[in-house]
Amino acid sequence: MMKLSNQRGVGLIEVIVALLLLAIAVLGFSALQMNALNATDESLVRSRAMSMSKQLSENMRLNTLATDDFMTKLNTLNQGAENITQYCAKVAQASSNFDKDSCKSDACSPEEIAALNTWQAANLGCEQDIMLNMTTCPDMADINARQCIITSWGKTIPILNDDEDNACGDSDGSYKLGSHCLIMEAY
């Protein structure tokens, strides 16, 4: 028979081991919860970007006479913008030069409507930290000239470029690993 004096402190060790196991389980659950929150945030931004792309695409379908003007205006806003701050500064500068109310009472040309729609989309993008751009979709220049509306967030730039690390995709239209963006084909 063992004496009780030999068992002294064993209960304390068991409690410490149990607490250690519980702490590891709680840390694992916390990490899982953080991943779930990040995925939810990404899903929300992706949903907003899709909505903006769809709206811009619908505006282009309604104004087929000025399809190229949408692309020109968005490309102008993106020239030299390497992040959302620079992009939104250019959008704000464009809005100060643009009469937002001119098309509400007077008849507008297709080009003016395209400028208004583009400014509205870019401004909405800035409110939600999303950059917009448009380019001719890869391998479509000779066929049907479809446009690719590119929305990006985070540190991703809305361009298709093989050499730019922060680009949304490669020049062939495939997404770059780790990019935070959405490419939508519009015609």
The phi, psi pair for 182, rounded to 5°, reads -140, 135
Pairing of strands 147-152, 131-136: antiparallel
| Domain chopping of the chain, boundaries | 11-186
| Helices 110-127, 67-78: crossing angle, 10 deg rounding | 40
Q: How many CB atoms lie within 10 A of CB 86?
A: 13
Which residue has tokens 């800035």? 126
Output the pLDDT for position 31.
Answer: 92
Judging by beta carbons within 10 Å of its beta carbon (0-12, 13-18, 19+), is residue 72 exposed, middle or buried?
A: middle
Closest residue by Cα to residue 183 from 50, 87, 39: 50
Residues of the chain predicted below pLDDT 50: none
Distance CA 134, CA 74 (A): 6
The model carries a pTM of 0.79
The predicted pLDDT at position 116 comes to: 87
**What is d(CA 38, CA 32) in angstroms, rounded to the nearest whole number?**
10
pLDDT digits (tens, 9 = 90+) for 113-137: 888 899 899 999 999 999 999 988 8
Q: What is the three-class DSSP state of 123? A: helix
Q: Is 48 helix (H, G, I), strand (E, B) or coil?
A: helix
